[in-house]
Amino acid sequence: MLDIKVTKTDCPKQKPTDKDQLGFGKIFTDHMFVMEYDEGQGWHDPRIEPYHPFAMDPACVVLHYAQEIFEGMKAYRTADGSVQLFRPDCNAKRFQDSADRLCIPKIPTEDFVQAVREVVKVDEDWVPTFPDTSLYIRPFVFANDVGLGVHASKKYTFCIILSPSGAYYKEGLKPVRIYVEDEYIRAAPGLTGFAKCGGNYAASIKAGEQAEKIGYSQVLWLDGIEKKYVEEVGSMNIMFKIDGKIYTAATTGTVLPGVTRRSIIELLKDWGYEVVEGKLAIADVMKAGHEGKLEEVFGTGTAAVVSPVKELTWTGDTVQIGDGNIGPLTQKLYDTLTGIQWGRIEDTKGWTVKVQ
């Protein structure tokens, strides 16, 4: 158990008064959690302190070699005014897997969850009450050694910042257009695709920017070897309902093992759907689209929640999905998942954890 020292701010910031002020990840709360790691000493000095910038040496390892990992989670305000987290132990576990891949010292699950709970508790008044909003939680670790040799750092900082947020996409729950990327790749076997590390996202930005310029919200990545099989979208996993069955890429190393992804798969199986986790060729998706068998497509992610897709374009070929509105299964998944998260539906799965 961490012995967390708490120092509260003397000058709290003005909280957003309107849902439209929120957006995603733009406003930050009054406090942050910080602790450091030094080789030989382990993680030390856990504390919650007023939100502040870091002073960094220009030769700091993370600035040059991107030795960094992060997580994305949310705290939800329920109708009775309490605040709850969603499966924080899953984020803790994934953080450890990412840490292992990036040679970063692991943080035990209990410490990770305790740190998240404590900092959310301190900034509890920042958990928004507007409909469909939450407090986005961003835990991250970065390498702090000073020097330009390419080695694992011997010093790290673990930090958690909090951001009251609304929908990730400006479209909200309205279906988005997705561009299937056929030039760049996001991951390949043996690389870091399964880890939540900044480097994966840095490498994805160019394709995302190009797609946005021509009117798409994000890109759908194909496998890095044959550019044939669907993997994931920029900020979410993706699922396809074809002829009644649900297909999604397996998490075998190149795809992020999403907490929302696994929760949605559990719900779908409970409801009797067959879920196929494996290789799905983009050519088969497009064919199903042209034959009217591509019933629904949706992304899943902490930030994106359950996000309907209305159009896919691959090498100049475009398919429209359904009638351009959110499909019934996508809507039911969104309602059920967010119902559990905001405490509107009884949590029979033990997924939610009260912060208080």
Helices marked H in 278-327 — which ranges?
A: 282-290
Give the nearer residue to ligand COI in terms of CB position, either 145 or 307.
307
Position among 178, 187, 211, 303 found at the interface with ligand COI (CB under 6 A):
303
What's the closest the beta carbon of residue 280 comes to ligand COI, in angstroms?
22
Binding residue (CB under 6 A) for ligand COI from 105, 301, 327, 343: 301
Region of 350 (left: φ > 0; alpha: ψ -120 to 50; beta: rest) is left
**In this complex, which beta carbon is closest to ligand COI, that of residue 72 or of residue 322?**
72
Q: How far apart are CA 68 and CA 140, in angstroms?
A: 7
Closest by CA position to 73, among listed 313, 278, 301? 301
CB-based contact 38:158 (threshold 8 Å): no
**Least gap, CB of 235 to ligand COI (angstroms):** 4
Region near ligand COI per CB under 6 A, out of 15-23, 47-55, 296-304, 319-327: 296-304
Reduced 3-state DSSP string for 19-30: HHHCCCCCCCCC
Interface residue with ligand COI among 72, 166, 175, 224 (CB under 6 A) is 72
Beta-carbon neighbour count of residue 219 at 10 Å? 24
Q: Which residue lies nearer to ligand COI by CB, 192 or 284?
A: 192
Residue 181: CB minimum distance to ligand COI, A: 16
Identified binder of ligand COI from the candidate list 91, 134, 235, 307, rule CB under 6 A: 235
Of 221 and 289, which CB lies nearer to ligand COI in the complex structure? 221
H/E element, 40: none
Inter-residue contact 56 to 319 (CB < 8 Å): no
CB 201 to ligand COI: min, Å: 6
Strand partners, 245: 242
What is the contact surface with ligand COI in residues (CB under 6 A)?
72, 201, 235, 301-303
